[in-house]
Amino acid sequence: MTGKVIAQSTVAGRDYILREVTIPPGQATGWHFHDGTLYAYVKQGTLSHFAATCKSDGVHPQGRFLEEPPGADHVHIGRNLGATDVVLEVLYVLPHGAPFSQDAPNPGCDFQ
C-alpha cells in the first residue's frame, strides 16, 4: 500500500489532509483505526472492507464513497481482492498532529 499527500490544511485544531492511497491486488491496509473521521472515494478498483467482527461491512466499487468513523472501537481493514489496483482519494479529518492511522492487532480473523 502506498499513499501520497495531495493537499493539507489545519483549521481550528483539525488537520484536513487529502491523500491518494493505492492498494495493489492481493494486498491490504492492515488492521487499524483512526483518531478522526475519514471520507474516501473509490477512484479505481473495488475495496473490500471488514470490521473487527471479521465480517464484511461493505464492498465499495469504483465511483462509491465511504466513511470511516474515529476511535479504537472502530478497528477495520481494507482489502483488495481484485485483479487491479484499488485507488482511493481519502480526506482525513484528524486532531492536529495525529497520524493517518493507528495499527491494531488482528482481532482473530483468519485473514490479514
Query: Domain containing 37 — which CATH number?
Result: 2.60.120.10
Residue 111 lies in a domain: no
> CA-CA distance, 21 to 28, in Å (whole number)?
11
Amino acid making up residue 73: D
Domain of 54, in residue numbers: 2-103
Query: Rounded to two decimals, what is the model's pTM?
Result: 0.94
Q: Is 59 helix (H, G, I), strand (E, B) or coil?
A: strand
Residue 15 lies in a domain: yes
pLDDT along the chain (112 residues), means of 10: 97 98 98 98 98 96 98 98 98 98 97 83
Residue 22 lies in a domain: yes
Number of domains in the chain: 1
Residue 19 lies in a domain: yes
Residue 27 lies in a domain: yes
Residue 10, strand partner residues: 15
Residue 23 lies in a domain: yes
Q: Is there a contact between 89 and 62 (Cβ–Cβ < 8 Å)?
A: no
Q: Is there a contact between 22 and 70 (Cβ–Cβ < 8 Å)?
A: no
Q: What is the pLDDT of residue 28?
A: 97
Residue 61 lies in a domain: yes
Q: Is there a contact between 83 and 24 (Cβ–Cβ < 8 Å)?
A: no
Residue 110 lies in a domain: no
